[in-house]
Amino acid sequence: MSDTIIHEGSTNVYKDLGLPNAEEMQAKALLASKVISIIRERKLTQEKAAKILGITQPKISLLSHGQFSGFSIGKLINLLNKLNQDIEIIIKNKSSSKKQHTNSGHISVIYM
């Protein structure tokens, strides 16, 4: 028998880890992931992607390694726009069950 304890997580690993600004970090991670996914789908080099996006190649490298702390949500949305992506932001009231569990806002990112 194993003494391993398994805890069911939420859909936000940053929240599960108890990190501050977990909702924002999750949104940024999703946006950054989509930017990198598009770059890979288009088989762009980091240099070519940097030129298209108007940022440096080292910043593309940071994104591709999951390091997005230097990017705002607005900047990541701008990068997606430069990759010809439409962004849809949905604002809605939290459900009553969510209000009981958290005081932070909830940010949803929807890919179409």
Three-state secondary-structure class, residue 72: coil
Non-local (6+) Cβ contacts of 43 within 8 A are: none
Q: How many other CB atoms sit within 10 Å of the CB of residue 30?
A: 16
The whole-number pLDDT of residue 110 equals 59
Residue pLDDT tens, the chain, 112 long: 578 888 788 889 999 999 999 999 999 999 999 999 999 999 999 999 999 999 999 999 999 999 998 999 999 999 999 999 998 888 888 775 454 444 445 555 655 5
The whole-number pLDDT of residue 112 equals 53
For domain 14-92, the CATH superfamily is: lambda repressor-like DNA-binding domains (1.10.260.40)
Based on its alpha-carbon atoms, the radius of gyration of the chain, rounded to whole angstroms, reads 17
User: In the chain, where are the structural domains located?
Assistant: 14-92
At 91, which helix (H) or strand (E)? none
